[in-house]
Amino acid sequence: MNAARLVSAVGRAPDDGGCVSRRVCLTALSALSAPAAWLAAPSLAYAGGQLEEPLMDSVRTALSSAIANQAPPEPHFFTTEARIHYVRWLAAMSDRLRRRKPEWEVRRDFLQTAWYESKRAGLDVSLVLGLIQVESAFRKYAVSSVGARGYMQVMPFWTRVIGDGDPGKLFHMQTNLRFGCVILRHYIDRERGDLFMALGRYNGSRGRSPYPDAVFRAQRNWLFAEGSQLPAA
């Protein structure tokens, strides 16, 4: 993989063991596809786990650089139109997330951070939100059966490989979203842009369809176009 490309992709400013069975994943996502059922879902994280793999020193350095500098997310816009589009996106996403996160300040901070970290890593924010829906159902302190943590169900070994070795920080919102987005970007680059394969790698089920298909379905809940209306998630 080209390390320089990775640094560029994830550093831009705004700003098989242990996997959950495929049957469990499909059953869970079938239930979660209906908004009311999703809201009543049990407190389980239907996630596999990223597999620890050897990394070239250049890749390790690039990833470490990409998760550094945890400045609070501050959206920046070059045009008035871009700012207006963001404000409308925020309002639409807030409505869809209201029943999951009733407090406006909590929804705003989460969505602003998800937007910032997605853009910073060169990812579609709707894809990131769809992944979070599948991985943790938007629960900050979710822990999977294999130990993945937080919103994006990041495996603790990543804090040792590219962080400071403190897995407790994965329950910090921005840290978790930063790690998750950087890791997903890494997998997309490694799979040469193939989202299906990259998502499978993220879940530890590379080449199998249930998990990527579940994320793509969930992503539809978070697509945004001016004037679009979707039911609350």
The whole-number pLDDT of residue 117 equals 94
Q: 10 Å Cβ neighbour count for 39?
A: 13
Query: What is the C-alpha separation between 180 and 161, in angstroms, rounded?
Result: 14
Tokens for 86, please give them.
């963001």
The whole-number pLDDT of residue 84 equals 94
210-219 vs 125-136: helix crossing angle, rounded to 10: 120
pLDDT tens, N- to C-terminus, the chain (233 residues): 443 343 333 333 333 333 344 344 434 434 433 333 333 343 445 556 777 777 777 777 878 887 886 667 878 889 999 999 999 999 999 999 999 999 999 999 999 999 999 999 999 999 999 999 999 999 999 999 899 999 999 999 999 988 889 999 999 999 999 999 999 999 999 999 999 999 999 999 898 999 999 999 999 999 998 655 555 55
Contacts of 7 (CB under 8 A, 6+ apart): 62, 65, 66
Tokens for 208, please give them.
């199998």
> Rounded to an integer, what is the distance from CA 213 to the centroid of its chain?
15
E-strand ranges in 60-107 read none
Helix then strand then coil, % of the chain, to nearest 5: 60, 0, 40
Which structural domains are found in the chain, ordered by start? 21-65+77-222 (1.10.530)
The whole-number pLDDT of residue 232 equals 54
